[in-house]
């Protein structure tokens, strides 16, 4: 049942090329230049109705929502707020008939997310669910549904659900951009062609695990690990830190690199591991200067960079490269070494990877 892998988590990490391919399938036009969403059939009148998009979810799905916000704002130019469901539902949120409420849930059964969905419907919002489970409570409750088609996710730690949610958000943002006319056709076609390369690029990332295993063995003995990045790299840092915490029980913290000097830098001393993501061109130099700050305190820094980046290795201890793609799509690649790092760190510490202590796969209590 684990397909030759030692744990479901490792199997599911390795299923990601197929999972993201399945997410895309049927959603790319035959000419390969546009996105089609037969489930939605939106038009400009429908979209222009919304002055705000709200994305609401928990845990890893919330982290996917942060990336979703970036995509929708950047490509479709609609303001997006992201919130964790257990906060959103109790804050008297500003949601009405001009709000598009997107909930994200692998299981489709998370009770806070379901409650947020119901409350938003009551307030008149249009609702869309991104979920993996056909016929789940959230799928049934939402006005419209986009399935991730990732296949069953058994391990408690979410992996392929996250990458497929990112793919789906990217496609949704392109679809919205096309309807709203916020992107020229040739740019949309370019993004679609980059998207189609992602499955093979994930496979490439998965083919080079030995260095990650080595780092994980070293890290397995640490008490704290810090993850830093800016922009989309920060969103991925949050997800990487969560993975490490939940399965290896190592304390991990993700920080927006520019926020370090507002507090966390006090914790950076000799030998503390820092995972530094530096893939976003618009903030590259700024990130590099933050990396130099932690190096100056003798942190052990592992950089995550795009292929072709020869700069970062001058300033850090090791670099893990992922294939080069558009910087919007790179989170789908950079998260993979972070998933593997968490997995092998947990193995090093003898943890029960598929069933971490105190956690359940589907959180149906509030």
Q: Strand order of the sheet with strand 144-147?
A: 80-84, 52-57, 99-105, 126-131, 144-147
Residue whose beta carbon is closest to ligand F6R: 59
Q: Which of 157, 192, 209, 257 binds ligand F6R (CB under 6 A)?
A: 157
Question: Which stretch in 26-34, 59-67, 201-209, 342-350 sits in contact with ligand F6R by CB under 6 A?
Answer: 59-67
Work out the number of other CB atoms within 10 angstroms of the CB of residue 134: 11
Is residue 58 a contact residue for ligand F6R (CB under 6 A)?
yes
Nearer to ligand F6R, 104 or 278 (CB): 104
Active site residue 286: no
- Asked if 235 touches ligand F6R (CB under 6 A), the answer is no
Other residues' Cβ atoms within 10 Å of the Cβ of residue 117: 27
Q: Work out whether 280 is an interface residue with ligand F6R (CB under 6 A).
A: no
Residue 158 touching ligand F6R (CB under 6 A): yes
Nearest to 68 by CA among 83, 87, 55: 55
- To the nearest whole angstrom, how small is the minimum distance from the Cβ of residue 236 to ligand F6R? 14
Say whether residue 60 binds ligand F6R (CB under 6 A).
yes
Strand ranges of the sheet holding 318-322, from the earlier edge strand across to the other edge: 251-256, 224-229, 273-277, 300-306, 318-322
- The verdict on 9 binding ligand F6R (CB under 6 A) reads no
Q: Give me the count of residues in the chain.
A: 366
- Residue 356, phi-psi category: left (phi > 0), alpha (psi -120 to 50), beta (remainder): beta
User: Does 110 sit near ligand F6R (CB under 6 A)?
Assistant: yes
Does position 164 interact with ligand F6R (CB under 6 A)? The reply is no
Which is closer to ligand F6R, CB of 9 or CB of 268?
A: 9
CA dist., res. 344 & res. 14, Å (int): 14
Q: How far is the CB of 83 from ligand F6R (least distance, A)?
A: 14
| Nearer Cβ to ligand F6R (243/321) | 243
Residue 216 to residue 309: CA distance in whole angstroms: 23
Angle at 148 between CA 145 and CA 149, to 5 degrees: 115
129 binds ligand F6R (CB under 6 A): no
Q: Which of 17, 59, 68, 331 binds ligand F6R (CB under 6 A)?
A: 59
Letter string b/e over residues 330-361, b meaning 16 or more CB atoms within 10 A of that residue's CB: bbbbbbbbbbbbbbbbbbbbebebbbbeeeee
Work out whether 107 is an interface residue with ligand F6R (CB under 6 A): yes
H or E stretch covering 167: helix 160-180
Catalytic positions are 361
Residues that bind ligand F6R (CB under 6 A): 58-61, 105-107, 110, 113, 157-158, 242, 246, 362-363
């Amino acid at each position: 049942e684990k397909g030759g892998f030692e744990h479901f988590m490792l199997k599911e990490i390795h299923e990601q090329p197929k999972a993201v391919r399945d997410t895309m399938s049927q959603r790319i036009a035959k000419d390969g230049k546009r996105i089609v969403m037969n489930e939605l059939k939106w038009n400009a009148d429908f979209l222009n109705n919304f002055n705000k998009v709200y994305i609401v979810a928990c845990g890893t799905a919330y982290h996917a929502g942060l990336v979703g916000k970036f995509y929708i704002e950047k490509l479709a130019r609609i303001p997006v707020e992201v919130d964790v469901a257990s906060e959103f539902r109790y804050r008297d949120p500003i949601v009405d008939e001009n709000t598009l409420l997107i909930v994200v849930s692998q299981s489709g059964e998370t009770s806070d997310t379901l409650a947020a969905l119901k409350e938003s419907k009551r307030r008149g919002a249009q609702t869309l669910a991104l979920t993996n489970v056909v016929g789940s409570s959230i799928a049934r409750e939402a006005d419209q549904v986009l399935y991730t088609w990732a296949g069953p996710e058994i391990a408690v730690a979410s992996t392929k659900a996250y990458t497929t949610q990112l793919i789906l958000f990217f496609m949704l943002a392109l679809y919205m951009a096309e309807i709203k006319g916020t992107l020229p056709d040739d740019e949309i076609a370019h993004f679609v062609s980059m998207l189609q390369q992602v499955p093979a690029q994930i496979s490439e990332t998965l083919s080079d695990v030995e260095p990650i295993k080595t780092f994980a063995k070293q890290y397995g003995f640490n008490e704290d690990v810090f993850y830093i990045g800016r922009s989309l790299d920060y969103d991925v840092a949050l997800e990487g830190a969560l993975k490490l915490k939940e399965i290896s029980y190592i304390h991990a913290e993700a920080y927006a690199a520019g926020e370090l000097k507002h507090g966390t830098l006090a914790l950076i001393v000799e030998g503390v591991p820092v995972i530094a993501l530096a893939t976003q061109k618009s903030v590259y130099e700024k990130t590099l200067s933050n990396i130099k700050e932690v190096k100056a305190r003798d942190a052990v820094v592992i950089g995550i960079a795009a292929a072709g980046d020869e700069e970062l290795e001058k300033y850090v201890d090791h670099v893990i490269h992922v294939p080069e793609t558009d910087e919007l799509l790179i989170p789908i690649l950079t998260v993979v070494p972070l998933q593997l790092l968490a997995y092998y760190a947990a193995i090093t510490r003898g943890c029960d990877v598929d069933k971490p202590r105190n956690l359940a796969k589907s959180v149906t209590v509030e």
